[in-house]
Amino acid sequence: MKIVMIGQKGIPAMFGGIERHVDELSCNLAKKKDYQIYVYTRGYYTPKEKKKYKNVNLIHLPTIKTKHLDAISHVFFATWHAIFKIKPDIIHFHGVGPALCVFIPKIFFPQAKVVFTFHCRDYFHKKWGNFAQLSLKIGEMIGCYFADEIIVVSEELKKYTMDKYGKESFCIPHGVVHKRTISANLIKKWGLTKNNYILSVSRLIRHKGIHYLIEAYQKIKTDKKLVIVGPSFYTKDYERELKKISKNNPNIIFLGAQTGETLQELFSNTYLFVNPSEQEGLPFTVLEAASFGQSLLLSDIEIHKSMFNNLPFFFQNKNVKDLKEKLKFLLKNPKLSQDRNKKLKTYTRSHYDWNEVVKKTILKYI
């Protein structure tokens, strides 16, 4: 069976929830007999000389690298390439923006089964203007109405898809890669040791709420550092704003994108993981932090509250004062948070498993 993945920037994943999802799904599918997996990549994300990754075929196509044309131009080229060159059995679109092109194979290559994974309602992201938001909403509509199978990553999106479009979807959450907790070593160069910092891992995009976290942190007295991991993505103005409100505080550290063992150390040794996001699909970074058995302080959006059966701590979404008070409380009560950590780790590893993700996805392919 030939399967193409369209919509991601590429693999191996460096940042981005869709990229991480496609990375794990594709590599696990490629282990199976008689499955040929093709993943389309963008030159700025995946090195062009890389043709294979863990038995997954990588196809490099051009993109118009601007904020508004980057994704859709690449998806458009990938869709036609798949139809004329790969001739796959399955065309799997990831994300509401890429779903704008779902109609192409439905019209011009109807023998392929078209699968759409609804990861997030991206038009809520504040980096997009009115026209981009409208385009994303149209993509969502096309994906939901025309795809042969709709996969959603949360029960919240499953309900939304039925309420909005009257369409049944199949909920397949992300999985978690089980990594061991490791000692601080590489991260010592930033002055980071076990439990001496608060961690947030996120792309630097306004709806992710990092500005709330910085403002709250600035209002508390603590010797623990605040470590912010993640790149901007067509949001340099927001990155500059974050660094400005940090007021050159040496205890607020921006590390940019981190991967591999460095990221593993950061998750392993943090005192507390905070995700202040205003809106999410199913946040990978929160799942990863929980899989390491770390305390979680999350905004009280619906998806956060549904992920771990109320094992995390919550603050009122967008409320800096409440976030400040919850930070102060958790810094003063380490034992309270530690009591939940083992339960979080066990819950995450039993409810978010990549083997189950692959099994359930294959059922949507056949």
3-state secondary structure 97-137: CHHHHCHHHHHHCCCCEEEEEECCCHHHCCCCCHHHHHHHH
Which pLDDT tens digits describe the chain residue by residue (366 residues)? Answer: 999 999 999 999 887 789 989 999 999 999 988 899 999 999 888 888 899 999 999 999 999 878 778 889 999 999 999 999 999 999 999 999 999 999 999 999 999 999 999 998 876 766 677 888 898 899 999 999 999 999 999 988 999 999 999 999 999 999 988 888 899 999 999 999 999 999 999 989 899 999 999 999 999 999 999 999 998 877 889 999 999 999 889 999 999 989 889 999 999 999 999 999 998 888 989 999 999 989 999 999 999 999 998 899 999 999 999 999 999 999 998 888 777 888 888 899 888 999 999 999 999 998
Q: Tell me the three state secondary structure of residue 280.
A: coil
Tokens of 78: 């990938």
What local confidence, expressed as pLDDT, does residue 122 receive?
74
Q: Tell me the three state secondary structure of residue 25.
A: helix
Based on its alpha-carbon atoms, the radius of gyration of the chain, rounded to whole angstroms, reads: 20
Domains and CATH numbers, the chain: 2-172 (3.40.50.2000), 186-351 (3.40.50.2000)
* Distant-in-sequence, close-in-space partners of 15: CB < 8 Å, separation ≥ 6: 203, 230, 231, 233, 257
Give the sign of the dihedral formed by CA 104, CA 107, CA 109, CA 113: positive
Q: What whole-number distance in Å separates Cα of residue 230 and Cα of residue 215?
A: 18
* Distant-in-sequence, close-in-space partners of 120: CB < 8 Å, separation ≥ 6: 17, 95, 96, 153, 279, 280, 281, 282
Q: How many CB atoms are located within 10 Å of the residue 164 CB?
A: 11
What local confidence, expressed as pLDDT, does residue 126 receive?
65
For residue 318, the 8-state DSSP code is: T
Q: DSSP alpha helices (H): ranges in the chain?
A: 17-30, 70-81, 103-108, 130-146, 155-165, 210-218, 236-245, 260-269, 284-291, 302-307, 320-332, 334-351, 354-365
Q: In what order do the strands lie in the sheet with 296-299?
A: 252-256, 225-229, 197-201, 272-275, 296-299, 313-315
Q: What whole-number distance in Å separates Cα of residue 267 and Cα of residue 249?
A: 22
For residue 190, the 8-state DSSP code is: G
Tokens of 213: 């976290």
